[in-house]
Amino acid sequence: MTARGVRPVLVAAVLLLAALATASHAFAYAFLYLGSSNGVPRRWDLASLPGGRVPWQISTAVGGNVIGNRAPIDVLTEAFSAWESLDTCAIRFAFQGTRDERERNAFDRVNLVTLGASESLGTGVLAAAFLSSDGAGVLNDVDIVFASNVPYTTSAAPEPDAYDLQSIATHEIGHLLGLEHSGLARGTMAPFSDRGDVYQRTPHEDDRIGGSLLYPDGGFPALGGSRAGRLTLAGSPVFLANVVAADIDGPIVASAFSRPDGSYVIDGLPPGVYLVYAEPLDGPVLPANVGGFRSAFGATPTTGYGTFFH
């Protein structure tokens, strides 16, 4: 349903301060589903947008917590371009200038990025993407709000005492696409970041697969493979396990969450030989960090088990 008079379905995805000083280098992708939908993804209908591009604007208000030697608009342009550069993903954006408004509005159909909002995002939250969609999951308004109480830098070089604006922006734009947080501790869509971190500037393989599944291009995913299965523990299905596909030579490529019936599918895998294992979300990433996925199914995550191979 796309009528303007219908109240949009709104969800917020937030990026948090880093929970650990160090973390394993692993990646994962998942989607922001409609609440209580049993797995209806949120995504843009590119065919209905002018030129097939998702429009965005930036607020002219910039908080005093943003420092650095690059203009914020240049940093944000780089962040949007990082997703456009994926050769298997059809997402494209259109910059439509600046706006004087500094606060988000879920009903104006303007995708606003604001660095000077007065809204409090909560303790430990660096930024948040607020997604509005219709009942079929078609996105119609996404606002990205950066916290006003944490230090950001626009500089190209890492700054150990500030959060990298380009990295955080690239992460939030992933939410704008419809991507959920990663189930593991690294990658662009990881739910944590730390001062001086810049690794989230460039989407990793798992991020590429996730974006490409939502907006396939260049023959994707027909050129790749898929791994599917069902997890059980003592005969009962395992919900919200993080199922990881790692290349036999060691690098982790991608992962997905299991559904309430224990089923999982990892699509878009490049040709290769993979080792697959499942692990609970028991830290540093927790079920609370993937609330958009949980709310789609309304089930209780399975706990009380260790990592096992599948």
**pTM confidence score:** 0.91
Query: Mean pLDDT, to the nearest integer, of 163-181?
Result: 97
DSSP calls for 93-118 = EEEEEEES--S--TTS---EEEES--
Task: Spell out a b/e string for 210-224, using b for 16 or more CB atoms within 10 Å of the CB, else e.
Answer: bbbbbbeeeebeeeb
Kindly report, residue by residue over 65-92, the tens digit of the pLDDT. 999 999 999 999 999 999 999 999 999 9
Kindly report, residue by residue over 87-145, the tens digit of the pLDDT. 999 999 999 999 999 999 999 999 999 999 999 999 999 999 999 999 999 999 999 99
Question: What pLDDT does 125 receive?
Answer: 95
Neighbour count for residue 21 (Cβ, 10 Å): 6
Kindly report, residue by residue over 42-54, the tens digit of the pLDDT. 999 999 999 999 9
Q: Is the pLDDT of residue 2 over 60?
A: no
Q: Is the pLDDT of residue 285 over 60?
A: yes
- Name the token pair of 2: 């796309």
pLDDT band of 249, cuts 50, 70, 90 = confident
DSSP calls for 185-233 = S-STT-SEE-TT--GGGS--HHHHHHHHHHSB-TTTTTTSEEEEEE-EE
